[in-house]
Chain A
Amino acid sequence: MNLKDHFHRQDEPSRRTFVSGLAASLFGVGAMPLVSPLSAAARLDDTIPLHHATAKRVIYLFLSGGMSQLDTFSPKPGAVTQGPTESIQSNAEDVLVSEHFPLMARHMDKVCVVESMNSNQGAHAQGQYYMHTSYELRGTIRHPSLGAWLNYMAGSVNETLPGHVAINSGLYHASGGFLESKFMPLPIGSAEDGLQNSRRAEHVTPRTFDRRMARLREMNDAFRGRYDTKEVRAYGDMYDQALALMDSQDLAAFDISKEPQAIRDAYGTEPFGQGCLLARRLIEHDVRFVEVVNDGWDTHAENFDRMGENCPPVDRALSALLADLDARGLLEDTLVVLATEFGRTPKINTQRDGRDHYPKAFTCLLAGGGIQGGFKYGKTDAEGHEIIEDKVTVQDFNATIAYALGLPADHEMYSPSGRPFQVAHKGVPVKGLFA
């Protein structure tokens, strides 16, 4: 075997790692929730609640590569930095969107535009990691992302589905970090294909299958009897959870072909739109945190042409998602986040007609889940170079999401090496975003 083949082999998940990965993602249930309702209810001396969730679930949309703020949700009409992208009035008085978001222009009354995002990470991997975990990428440790924190701290809701799912996500996106493997997101490669390998193989009859599982149990029971430890029990539980999912009436949540064609068309035929539709189906079934990633925003060259290609699928998917959630009454307690690792330079790189990395001042969106819609938070100067009001750091942004979910920002969790970590590092929630 030559070296290349060897690496190919390494990329291919083996049957065993796949099964255990699937099982691990599903086994998120038995964990004792940290925010225990009963211990909390017993705390009568609190006059002001410490944690109060306005959102139960999160759909986290990540535009990977660095979304240009000026060409999307923070246009600066008339500024020399704006380039050829025009802007249109949205249905919220104070909010303009770029010409590439005519559909979202009808839904900005549901959205809070955070125009004063600030990061200190200017490279993709580092920026994506930072955005997801609130910590800097290091060689010695892997931090959990928000979805893992949520399931770790608040427990899973649906007993047969995983609490954390990531659609089309990459290495530096959602992750379970140093938390137990059960907090890892269940990866979905393509929304169209849904959850693979979740059905009994056709050539195995139910009887054969049951017999095999019984035999497995028999063999395991002997082992378990001898080594009755937490780790050994956890392994058996993984199988039980995977089996529960195979029989779950909620398995259909992964199958977007069950949606009426009109709804599928509304989200658009692009993978991102179908991913958003799958995300909606999953949160309807009480999956807590679903991330959908959209690639291709690294527009160093031909920024303006590429905006015309990149934006329409996102415009369509996001507006369909918000409209659909709203009409189903789910936007009240579902937080929709549109995030990216950094923005792009207001100054146009004239040689390549592009924009370069710009973590200093960029834009993210929040909608639903108790967030006040229809306004802009924070301000940049007339050309978009500097934040002049209400800076929101990456940690603050994540602390705000955690606050919406009722997660205690000050709770310290210890990594295997004994170091303390918090859900949004040292971020301070921006309470002025909540209705």
Chain B
Amino acid sequence: MWLAQALLSLPVGADAPAVDFRTEVLPILEARCVECHRDPAANSGKRPKGGLRLDGKHWILEGTKSGPVVVPGDPAESVLYELISLDADDLDRMPPKGDALSDVQVATLRTWIAEGAMFGDWVGAPGPEAGVKPTPKPPTGKLPRIILLYMELGEGLSPHTEEQIKLAEGERGTIQPVFPGSPLLSVGFPSNQGRTGTADVRGLLCCAENLVTLDLGRTRITNQALSAVSNMPRLVKLDLRQTNITDEAISHLAGLDNLRSLNLFSTGVTDGIVETIAGLEKLETIYLWQSKLTAAGVTQLRKLRPDLRVVYQADLPAPERGVPDDEDIDGGRRRRR
């Protein structure tokens, strides 16, 4: 039965291409072409040889400055086919290093082009338009958004006295108003992170109503510290990076209706937090790099909250590679043609 279904789902008729891009063409490109013809960002900033990229549908169809390299339906007019089918000792033959493509590989590419150079559902590296963000609305030039928010949240609250703040600071904390005159407070434990623990967080409770930013990054807090945090209704920004907290800590955050930014970089939280996080309606950004969340958990969170910025990976440049740059030779080749 399943065999019949599988057969039925196959394309049938005279139009069905004999060559499948993903299973037959792509492996050839990846093995022999893409190393030199790809996104500079994925190649230590090295520009693609001859200005040609073969790592995405957009780029393959775009070709080079001198024109397309693949003309769907016409191998004879396709520079790509021409170059791979040159004699092995021809200087222009591609790929320039190693053996020439095998006859079977050349024939596969030829057939693929002849059949219309179809890519199926494969896209590869996106074209320049994809991923480009539209120009943001120019800022109003009045007050930064975050300050406006603090002004709103601070309305009706009275500031604490010097004594109350001293008491809350304890031995290790530093408490400052978010701006002069605001009753809202910003708390951190700079230069004492290694000595700061759950008791210090509990000490903040006398100012709980007024706290809007709390930086517990790199401290020794435990999950229990977060039960104190659950009493801070105006919290806008909570930084728990590089602490030993786990999912249990996050369960305490469910009622924080003003939370905009939550930093869980390098913590022990797992996919178990996804539901609680998705329920934090005002949350704008969550940092999850080097946490224990899986890609599936992140996907689920993004699905539940498409508006939320989920920072799960660092878009760091790939390391440089010690490949000699022979671009000029390639360039000369292209020009001679």
Contact = CB atoms under 8 A, between A and B. Distances in A.
A432 interface: yes
A328 to B, nearest CB: 5
A42 B164 CA distance: 13
Interface in A105-142: 105-107, 109
A94 interface: yes
B261 A329 contact: yes
Q: Which of A107, A320, A332, A370 has the most CB of B within 10 A?
A: A332
A157 B174 contact: yes
B299 to A, nearest CB: 18
A40 B139 contact: no
B59 interface: no
A432 B141 contact: yes
Given A54-B147, A91-B133, A329-B241, A161 B180 contact: no
Given A37-B177, A324-B314, A329 B191 contact: no
A266 B44 CA distance: 9
A293 interface: no
Interface in A294-329: 312, 315-316, 319-320, 323-324, 326-329
Contacts of A372: 136, 138-139
Contact of B45 (A46, A157, A266, A315): A315
A228 B106 CA distance: 89
Interface residues on B, range: 35 or more
Nearest to B148: A52
A157 B135 contact: no
A41 B320 contact: no
Contacts of A323: 314-317
B191 A266 contact: no
B135 A92 contact: yes
Contacts of B159: 41-42, 44
Contact of B316 (A320, A332, A434): A320
Contacts of B311: 326-327, 329
A43 B131 CA distance: 47
Contact of A250 (B138, B147, B191): B191
A278 interface: no
A240 interface: no
B182 A49 contact: yes
A362 to B, nearest CB: 22
A370 B135 CA distance: 17
A377 to B, nearest CB: 9
Nearest to B145: A435
Interface string B275-316: 000000000010101000000000000000000000101111
B41 interface: yes
A157 B174 CA distance: 9
Interface string A12-48: 0000000000000000000000010110111111101
Interface string B85-107: 00000000000000000000000
30 contacts: A38-B165, A41-B159, A41-B160, A41-B181, A49-B182, A52-B143, A53-B179, A89-B132, A99-B47, A102-B39, A102-B45, A103-B41, A103-B45, A250-B191, A265-B320, A266-B319, A268-B317, A269-B320, A285-B191, A312-B45, A316-B320, A320-B317, A324-B314, A327-B314, A328-B287, A329-B261, A329-B263, A329-B285, A434-B139, A434-B144
Interface of A: 35, 37-38, 40-46, 48-54, 88-94, 99, 102-103, 105-107, 109, 157-161, 248-250, 262-263, 265-266, 268-269, 284-286, 312, 315-316, 319-320, 323-324, 326-329, 332, 370, 372-375, 406, 431-435
Q: Which 7 A-B pairs have the closest CB atoms?
A: A40-B180, A327-B314, A102-B40, A265-B319, A329-B263, A52-B179, A432-B141
Interface of B: 39-41, 44-45, 47, 128, 131-136, 138-147, 150-151, 159-160, 162, 165, 174-183, 188, 190-192, 194, 218, 237, 239, 241, 261, 263, 265, 285, 287, 289, 311, 313-320
